[in-house]
Structure 1
Amino acid sequence: MCQWLASNPNELHLVNRMDEVGSSKSVNFDGARKMALKQIEEFLLSFSDPHIFSEAATSSAPATLAQVVEAVRIPEAGNLICSAAAIGKYVSMLQNPSSLLRACAAFAFVQFTLPGGQHAMHHAGLLQNAGASPVLRASAEAATARIESKMYARIVLRNLEHLQSSPSTQF
C-alpha cells in the first residue's frame, strides 16, 4: 500500500492528463481512465467504514476524527518522503473536478501528515509552502464532496495545526 501511495501522484496526474488530451484530440482514453478510477476507488473503499464516516460527518469531536484516523492509518506510510513536486501534484488533485481524485489526494495527505510519522514535519512544511490549507478548507466544506474527502481534509487540517504548534516545528 505504501508503494501505491508513493507512485500515486504520477499515476493520478496521468489520469488527469488523459482527460485533457482525450478532450483536445481524437484520442479516446475513456476505458483506461475508467479502469484507473475504479482501482483508485476500490483502494479508498478498502479503508472506508461507513458507520465511522457517517458518525464523523455529524460530529466535530476530536475522538470521532481519531476513529477515522485509526481506520485509515497505514503505519508504513510514515516512512515515505515526498518532494515538493509530488506534494504540488496532490494539491492540484484537491482542485480536480473528480471527487474521487480529490478524496485520494486528501487520503494521501492524511498518511503523510500523521503526527509521529518520520517525515510528517517535512510534509507539513511542503504543504504550507504549496498553499494547501485554503484548498483543504474548501475541500472539507464542499457540499458536493465525498464524505471521505471531507473527513480526510478535516484530519489533515488538524494534523497541520498540531504539527505547526509543536515546539520542535521548523519549516
Structure 2
Amino acid sequence: MSRLLNGIVAVCPDRGIGRRGELPWHPVRLANEFKHFRRMTSTPSVKDKQNVVIMGRRTWFSIPEKNRPLNNRINIVLSRVLRAPPAGAHHLAPDFNSALKLVDVDLADRADQVWVIGGSSLYKDLMESPGTKRLFVTQILNQFDCDTFLPEISAARYRLLPQFPGVPSELQTENGIQYRFEVYESFEQ
C-alpha cells in the first residue's frame, strides 16, 4: 500500500537539527513549537486509529525517559544494534523499509498517519523514498551550534506550500527565538 509519509523537524538556518543529542537551543524550551509537534504527530485523521512515529535509536534515547513512549502514538524505533525494542517502545525495526512494512502489514488495522521524527539519516531515507511525502519544517531563525544536520530539501523534488490547514503562517517568537512553520510536499512520483 502506498501511503503519504510525513516528516517533522525543527532546523537552524544551516539545517542544524541537533547538538550532542539535544535540540540545538537546549536548555531553552520552545513550548508552542513542541505543542505543534505533538498536535501534528498525535492527531489521527481516521477515528479509532493512531498515528505512527518512526525514529532512530539515538532520537528515542534523546527523549526524556518520563516522556517515552510518545503518548497516543505507535512508537517504532529503528536500530541495527538492538535485538528487542527499548523499554517503552512499541516496535523495533532494523531499517526504514522494514518499519514501513511493519506499518502496512502488522499495524494496518490500527495505524493512520506515519511521521518520521529523526534523526538525520532517517530524514534522508524519508526524503529519498518513492511516493508522496510532506515535510513539516520549523525554520528556527536564530543560529545555534549544531553537530547533526537535515539533508538539503531538494527544490527539484519538493515545493513549499503557501499554507497548510492547522499550521500557523505568521512568524512565531518564543523565549527570544523566532521561527516559522513551513510545509513542503514532494511533487515527483
Q: Would the TM-score normalized by the shorter structure come out above 0.5? A: no
More helix by share: 1
Q: Which has the higher contact order (CA 8 A, sep 6+)?
A: 2
Normalised to the residue count of structure 2, the TM-score between the two structures is: 0.29
